[in-house]
Amino acid sequence: MKATQLLHNLGQSLWLDNITRDLLNSGTLQRYIDELSVTGLTSNPTIFDHAIKSSTAYDVAIRENPAKGETGEGLFFDLALNDLTRAADLFRPVYDRTNGVDGWVSLEVSPLLAHDTAGSIAAARELSARAARPNLFIKIPGTKEGLPAIEEAIFAGVPVNVTLLFSREHYVAAAEAYLRGIERRIAGGLNPQVGSVASVFISRWDAAVAGKVPEALSNRLGIAMAGSIYKAYVDLLSNPRSQRAYNAGARPQRLLWASTGTKDPRASDTLYIKALAAPFTINTTPEGTLHAFADHGEIGPIMAADGGDCEEVLDRYVQAGVAIDSLAARLQDEGAKSFAKSWNELMAVIASKSASLRRRPA
């Protein structure tokens, strides 16, 4: 039995962190669903930047859409929604079979809205309505300005993937924003079943301290942070406030491990999948890591509900001079800026392709 199926049997969902029109047109995504137990998919501006830049699959749509008055951001969301609604339809049997627990895809609001609460709320509602799929998350970053947008989107019934979370504090703040939105729906007599996941970025922790800590601590910070966050997740699932919401019909916001491709070439290419195996969680992985895990991956021990030795390991990083809290803030800020940079590059690619294709005969 493939390691991907074993992970699924353990109770962890394996999602693909990629989307391209070629994946859809070639039937590759369907094969991942059928053969590698992939039950969902995530996207971000960097993924779409690479997809559109390196493929001709979007050329016809890019050439035709300006004639309909769509350019720039509007054109991008047309392209992205086309891909993601097709993907959502492929995952719809999983969504139906699991009663909406699994089988989701994700579309991010413009990264330029990372610090714009009102803009994020408006964009989330518009994109969700345009998608018209029950299994499509709108991604909103868990920044200070994003948190009230997450609460409002959930209250409005928009499923949300909270992105750019790095620390336990980031996760707890996002989980509480989700819960506030759900509690407001309950108080207003609305259906509290609004899907959400909280996406915690893992490998960027290790990349940030590479070469700056003792060798014995290499590639252990992301996993230790995950242990701390997993403990908070388990505690939150069982606290009275959450249970009151579940008793009213709400569902838990699931924890998602993101950025799980190994960045250190000296480390195992399946490091973060093996270390982060835990039931009722999600691991969204790059395509290369998915293939590696299916080929030679192993599942490690299930993550300890109490975090295991995470606090001891984190203390060792502090002793080595790593300021955990300030690094978390920096990683979140850098992540937002990185997605904004990819977004600007994506807009430039679309503009360039659009101009070039208009000059060519159809």
Instruction: Kindly give, in sequence order, each residue whose CB lies less than 8 Å from that of residue 54, ignoring residues fewer than 6 positions away.
Output: none
Cα→Cα distances 223→99, 175, 200, 257, Å: 31, 20, 11, 10
Report the C-alpha gap between 73 and 79 in whole angstroms: 10
Measure the N-to-C terminal CA separation of the chain; round to a whole number of Å: 48
DSSP letter for 110, please: P
Sign, Cα dihedral of 98, 99, 101, 105: positive
3-state class of 44 per DSSP? coil
Torsion of CA 67, 69, 73, 77, to 10 degrees: -70
Tokens 């997450």, located at residue: 150
Report the C-alpha gap between 46 and 344 in whole angstroms: 10
Radius of gyration of the chain (CA): 20
Report the C-alpha gap between 82 and 283 in whole angstroms: 24
> 231 and 307 in contact (C-beta within 8 Å)?
yes
Find the catalytic residue in 2, 53, 68, 139.
139
Angle of CA points 167, 171, 174, to nearest 5°: 140
Taking Cα atoms as reference points, which of 313, 317, 296 lies closest to residue 304? 313
Q: 3-state SS of the chain: helix, strand, coil percent to 5?
A: 60, 10, 30
3-state class of 256 per DSSP? strand
139 carries an active-site annotation = yes
Half-sphere exposure of 196 (CA within 13 A, CB side): 33
Catalytic residue set = 139
